[in-house]
Amino acid sequence: MKYLEIFNSYKHSEKIAYICGENSVTYKELMLYSDRLAKYILQNCGVGNKDAISVYGHKDFLMLVSFIACTKSGHPYCPMDISFTKNRVEDVLDIINSKFSIFTEDLVVDEKFNILNRKNILDIIYDDKYDNISDEGLYEIDSEDIAYIIFTSGSTGKPKGVQITYDNLNNYIRWIHNVVGNEKNKVYLNQAPFSFDLSVMDLYLSLYSESTLFAITKENQQDFSSLYENLKKSNVTNWVSTPSFADMCLSMREFSCENIKDIEYFLFCGEVLTKKTAKRLRERFPNAKIINTYGPTESTVCVTDILVTDEVIEKFGVIPLGKTKNGTIIEIREDDKVLADGEVGEIVIIGDTVSSGYYKNSVQTEKSFFITENNIRGYKTGDLGYFKDGNLFFSNRKDFQIKLNGYRIELGDIESNLLNIEGVISCCALPNYDSDNKVKSITAVVVSNNVVNEKEYVKFLKEELQKYVPSYMVPKKFKFLEKLPMNNNGKIDRKELKKILESK
Ligand code: AMP
């Protein structure tokens, strides 16, 4: 059965599907409200129309109602979190260019965009007139139709929309559900915003297994006592987060199985899981299973998994990414040649969860995606890695994409947006690493003709940049130079630049 049919089979269930603070919804309500909103969408866009719809907001139950309503009416949804700047929201709205967008939180955008606001949505979902109108077009979604589009940082300064098909998502859910033992009636933790594909793991696993999704807001995550209180009352059994978030929780002494008693699984994805983090979790939660998974948004969340036991932690120098999921082949390549076990090359994913490409962006799609002779989609990840004893390992990146606290950032995205700011002549964003080789911050090196007072100018640059990129992309430190070192190809010599900074 496909996931929409499974969700629908819970339409009489009084179980809580989603809870976030005071905000909650049962399965029965979720299915009823999303039916009503789907019928509204069908009425307004017409049966057979499959244009994407942007959904803006944070952790409100209306986000879930909107996502499911879009799918039920055959429209891809495009989640945008409140961490997006107004400019980025407008960039996405421009690219998506739909008849209307759904905003579950207030944000004033250009008048040219037609917005269905919170009040409009509530009026629709609480109106029973929709129950009696025709359901023509409802649940008409084909395998290759797009289920969602998630935007990620793009090196040119504009975000790229990854399109995930209905079957991509179905294939992914069936596999990941098996990884956690096919069990029903669990409590999943939702840490990541819905605009980050890690949230697809908890959201869909939870709904698929008639479990409860317990969400913690951005605000809760910034305040330790509120975070702890929430975790304690959540009764979470299946934890889904970035390793960085687990590290943050581990800095609270109370974060242990004596206080947070029900955790059975820690599921990680999105960045390196260090041995240090895994060991600390094993100490604090000896009965919980830790699963490391790996994958890019372009192949529906993740494509490998491994159970991180004490033995695994001891045996390997770094924690493996694990074995490839069924329905997928991973090759390690260099210049299209497939490398042998142990050799480091680019990780290439071929299989049934590979996206159909970037939305309205054939240039980037052709660069990274391909079709095999057997008509299966493939994606060149830009990650460097190798296989050893059937396990995949991560080495590094080929390019200038980094992960900071789980967020995927193209350094070029920061640089392109910095270059648009008054006075910036040239610039370079450099990641700073900690002893575990994880990025801990970003430094921007700027050449400018506008620096009178350095402190004031840094403040100005941060404020300006924050209008265009999410706050997690704003460099922590700024350094100024008269010129940037160049290599023979006329590109910025990052190694030399690092040396210059270190010598200062
Ligand atoms: P995203 O599309 O945001 O999920 O980011 C995908 C990228 O995150 C991958 O291409 C890797 O560079 C990195 N990544 C994801 N999972 C892991 C992991 N378990 N270990 C190391 N890096 C990871």
The ranges assigned to domains in the chain are 24-141, 321-396, 405-503
Q: Is 193 in the pocket of ligand 1 (CB under 6 A)?
A: no
The Cα–Cα gap between 203 and 180 comes to 14
Whole-Å CA distances, 135 to 43, 123, 387, 454? 10, 19, 50, 62
Q: How many A from CA of 267 to the centre of ligand 1?
A: 14
pLDDT in tens, 69-97: 999 999 999 999 999 999 999 999 999 99
Q: How many CB atoms lie within 10 A of CB 132?
A: 7
150 lines ligand 1 (CB under 6 A): no
Mutate to test the pocket of ligand 1, among 148, 272, 305 (most ligand atoms within 8 A of CB): 272
Do 24-141 and 321-396 fold alike per CATH? no
Report the pLDDT value the prediction gives residue 452, as an integer from 0 to 100. Answer: 87
Average pLDDT, the chain: 96
Q: Is the CB of 195 under 6 A from ligand 1?
A: no
Query: 71: helix, coil or strand?
Result: helix
Beta-bridge partners for 424: 448
| Cβ pair 38, 105 in contact under 8 A | no
* pLDDT-derived band at 186, boundaries 50, 70, 90: very high
Count of Cβ atoms closer than 10 Å to residue 90 Cβ: 16
* Chain centroid to CA 265: 20
Strand partners, 426: 447
Q: How far does CA 452 lie from the centroid of its chain?
A: 40
Q: Is the pLDDT of residue 436 over 90?
A: no
What is the pLDDT at residue 504? 79
Residues 451-479: pLDDT tens digits?
Answer: 889 999 999 999 999 999 999 999 999 99
User: Mean pLDDT, to the nearest integer, of 247-269?
Assistant: 97
* β-sheet bridge partners, residue 430: 443
Q: What tokens does 489 get?
A: 């190809």
pLDDT at 481 over 90: yes
The superfamily (CATH) of domain 405-503 is: ANL, C-terminal domain (3.30.300.30)
Give the distance (Å) from ligand 1 centre to CA of residue 141. Answer: 29
In degrees, rounded to 5, the angle at the alpha carbon of residue 41 between the alpha carbons of residues 36 and 47 is: 110
What would the mean pLDDT of 128-140 be, rounded to a whole number? 94
Which residues, 6 or more positions from 213, have their beta carbon under 8 angstroms from its beta carbon? 17, 18, 19, 187, 188, 190, 202, 203, 206, 207
Site to probe by mutation for ligand 1, drawn from 201, 318, 383 as the one with most ligand atoms within 8 Å of Cβ, is 383
- Report CA(459)–ligand 1 centroid distance (Å): 31
Ligand 1 binding pocket mutation candidate from 267, 294, 324 (most atoms within 8 A of CB): 294
pLDDT for res 128 = 97
Q: What is the average pLDDT across 384-412?
A: 95
Going by alpha carbons, the residue nearest to atom 21 of ligand 1 is: 272
Q: Which residues contact 69 (CB under 8 A, 6 or more apart)?
A: 33, 34, 35, 36, 37, 38, 40, 41
Q: 292 CA to middle of ligand 1, Å? A: 11
Query: Which residues, 6+ apart, have CB-to-CB distance to 238 below 8 Å?
Result: 180, 186, 187, 188, 189, 202, 205, 206, 211, 263, 264, 265, 267
| Cα–Cα distance, 266 to 446 (Å, whole number) | 41
Q: What percent of the chain has pLDDT over 90?
A: 95
CATH architecture of 24-141: 3-Layer(aba) Sandwich (3.40)
Integer CA distances (angstroms), 488 to 196, 364, 425, 481, in order: 38, 26, 20, 20
Tokens 């240090």 locate to 276
**Residue 136, phi then psi, degrees to nearest 5:** -60, 130
> Does any ligand 1 atom lie closer than 6 A to the CB of residue 220?
no
3-state secondary structure 75-101: CCEEEEECCCCHHHHHHHHHHHCCCCE
User: How close is the Cα of 198 to the center of ligand 1, in Å?
Assistant: 10
* CB 383 near ligand 1, within 6 Å: yes
Using a 6 Å cutoff on CB, does residue 346 contact ligand 1?
no
Q: Which CATH superfamily is domain 321-396 in?
A: Luciferase; Domain 3 (2.30.38.10)
Q: Residue 318: pLDDT above 90?
A: yes
Ligand 1 centroid to Cα of residue 1, in Å, is 29
pLDDT grade for 490, boundaries at 50, 70 and 90: confident
- Both tokens of 95, joined, read 């690219």
User: Does residue 228 carry a pLDDT above 90?
Assistant: yes
Say what the pTM is. 0.95
How far is 252 from 232, CA to CA, in rounded Å? Answer: 13
